Amino acid sequence: MNSRTLLRRGYTQISDLGRDADKHDNSKYVNDPIHGYINLDEQVLQLIDTPQFQRLRHLKQMGSSYFVFPGASHNRFEHCVGTSYLASEVVKGFAQRQPELGIDERDSRCVTLAGLCHDLGHGPFSHVFDNEFIPRACPGMIWSHEEGSEMMLHHTVDENHIDIDEGDIKFIKQLIRGSSQPVGDEKMFLFDIVANKRNGVDVDKFDYIQRDCYNVGVNSSYDFQRLMLNSRVIDDEVCYNAKEAFNLTEMFHTRYSLHKRVYSHRAAKAIEFMLVDALLIADPILQISQSITNPHMYQSLTDEIVRDIERSPAPELREAQDIITRIHTRDIYKFVDEYILPADMASIANSTCINEAKIVGYRSDNDDFVERDVLIDFCLIHYGMRKDNPVDRINFYSKYNTAEKFPISSGLISLCVPEKYEERIIRIFTRTPSKRGQIQGAARRLMEDLSSRIVASSPSNSSAHITPNRGLTLPNNLSLSPVKKRRLDFSM
């Protein structure tokens, strides 16, 4: 490899690679498609080279999106390695540019390991597991993958006899959880690096946005490296150069765009429903949900659970196997309709106002679909801080005074910014494709009735009306009979 290539990878001179190797006899370099050559020191390798961390190689970063976007084959493993690298680089940058911060070796080590271990607790198909499966498998239980990460961190350290101080483990767990309030005697700005609860600007987003865009083939219009270089700590908070205000706006827009175009893709959501159905059927037999409190069981729980279901001879899993076969043969649940709710109607986006039974209640005389045919998705997409503009929560500094922090209103960044920063979407799907037209008609009658009732109860809310999207209207003569497969003729 020539010197020009290495310089593009981030080295200041060609001798850096060799010099770093001399300093860290037990370190390794890996070539990452996003960040170039990454140095993995001995402490990081102690955790990576464990069965618990290697498990992340078998968890798709983008869950069910991989069934729709063939390039989305990357896993939690490389995302965690990339996040760890960026966390380390941010801390090193602050230590070099601002030695008065008193960043010590413990601070650097714990932030780096927090970046490495922040997703240790993800389950099969990533957010499908904790956002969709667990709430239905364990009603009333509040559990997140961050809790799983804390459990698996302890388990990894104990099972592999890794020498980490108990106080450091506690600090790493706090960094993974994130905090917008002071935590003991720890430096508050360190909590802005991996899981930033103040404004959402953190290395986790830097890595997953860039990595997901790269693998899916979506262009990213912001530059996270500029953000890392143009940041400094003021009053125990990570702040950014004022010239990076639009760059940050673009970062949050890119996040929104990924959620809108990729993570919430209709076909990906349909397959997500199918995966959850299969897992729920298999749960009593395979005890999937019980693993979230048992690290030994959780260690073996990956996306491979689908293959375990397929291979099982248990007759109780026949229905789950049929659902998985439908995924493989692309006989997936079908999207029916969607409604982007006006702000005045956001209150109806819940299972009390809109549910399967209510849609069934609006059937016409000739309709024969039942509740089991209907699926409802309450989708919330935002810029990262719900209805607020996250950039409003960021503090900046001027190159003329790097000791003073201040906010910049969105109107001073650009006039071409959104009026709203979140949208609530109600999407209807069906397990039975032949019933799409019936379900769409009933759902639209329900939504029209809800709109009329809201306007009648509050005439000032005249804008609270849902207009069906004509582009989604199904024709009356729509035929969804299965396509017969022809045998290919290779005789010629």
Q: Which amino acids are annotated catalytic?
A: 145
Q: Which long-range contacts (CB under 8 A, 24 or more apart) does 298-301 make?
A: 298/121, 298/123, 298/148, 298/151, 298/152, 299/51, 299/52, 299/55, 299/152, 299/155, 300/55, 301/123, 301/124
Pairwise CA distance, residues 317 & 281, whole Å: 7
Which residue's entry shows tokens 């508050």?
188
Query: How many other C-beta atoms can be found within 10 angstroms of the C-beta atom of residue 411?
Result: 8
Amino acid at 113: L
DSSP bridge partners of 231: 240
Dig out the tokens for 69 from the structure. 């976007």
CA distance 75 to 310: 22
Q: Which of 407, 132, 448, 155 is nearest to 274 (CA)?
A: 132
State the SS3 of 250-261: HHHHHHHHHHHH
Chain centre to alpha carbon of residue 409: 28
